Amino acid sequence: MSVLLPKTDAAPPPARRRFFDWRAWVVAVTLLVAVGLSILLGARHQAQQAFFGMRLFPLKAAYDFELRGSDAQPVRLDQLHGKVVLFLFGFTHCANVCPTSLTNLAQVYQALRPEERKQIQVIFISVDPGRDNAQTLQEYTTSFDPSFVGLTGTKQAIDQTVQAYGGSYQFVPGSSGAANDYSVDHSAYAYLINRSGMLELLYDNEKLTNIDRMVGDIRAVLREQ
């Protein structure tokens, strides 16, 4: 027995038309960009955290000071372009902070390899030009390491330099009232300028005591360029 199916003239259902969903494309691209930025910022953050010193971001060009050296001749920061410069403010009559910081920097300097030391310059900037003449400053700085350089200048030049690096200093009269009986309260940071002349890292007194980490930072900066 056969079954007869009813005849129909109905056309088959039309095939679905495929179309480009631009909204989904925009969402996908936005997500990719967001992920890419997250990875980039994360990598940048990790790079900053890799330094022991406080890294400045974004980096800025270091103030090109002009001060006097041991021969009383002008010395500009720009003359040291191509070297890593470590410097700090102080004065030769400083009882504790300055000699301790310079001793730590001398240990850092000596811990570097000879070829690395050729690319480093440590500078001590005196904010006390009234007592720290060229000879006094030279004898003081070289007592920590023969390669260290002492600089000072006029009050105006010193003030401009200190302010440019966000520092401060203040004379404190001594108990005797004598003209030369005074101390100086001053900023105690050490500043690291990279070989491109950019201010990159800051170190407080506590960080300066960690010789190995300081050496690691300097080597990382030397590898940057």
Predicted local distance difference test score (pLDDT) of residue 224 = 86
Predicted local distance difference test score (pLDDT) of residue 41 = 46
151/127 Cα distance (integer angstroms):
9
The token pair at 132 is: 């720290």
Sequence-distant (6+) residues with CB within 8 A of 49 are none
In residues, how long is the chain?
Answer: 225
Q: How many CB atoms lie within 10 A of CB 198?
A: 16
Q: Whole-model pTM?
A: 0.78
Q: Which CATH class is domain 54-224?
A: alpha beta
Question: Which residues are bridge partners to 203 per DSSP?
Answer: 190
Of 44, 25, 45, whose CA–CA distance to 33 is shortest?
25
The token pair at 130 is: 């009234």
13/16 Cα distance (integer angstroms):
9
Q: How many CB atoms lie within 10 A of CB 92?
A: 20
Strand (E) positions, 47-143? Answer: 54-61, 66-68, 74-76, 84-90, 120-126
Predicted local distance difference test score (pLDDT) of residue 5 = 47
For the stretch 188-206, pLDDT in tens is 999 999 999 999 999 999 9
Of 222, 215, 191, whose CA–CA distance to 77 is shortest?
191
Predicted local distance difference test score (pLDDT) of residue 26 = 52
**In the chain, where are the structural domains located?**
21-50, 54-224
Report residues of the chain scoring pLDDT below 70. Answer: 1-49, 225
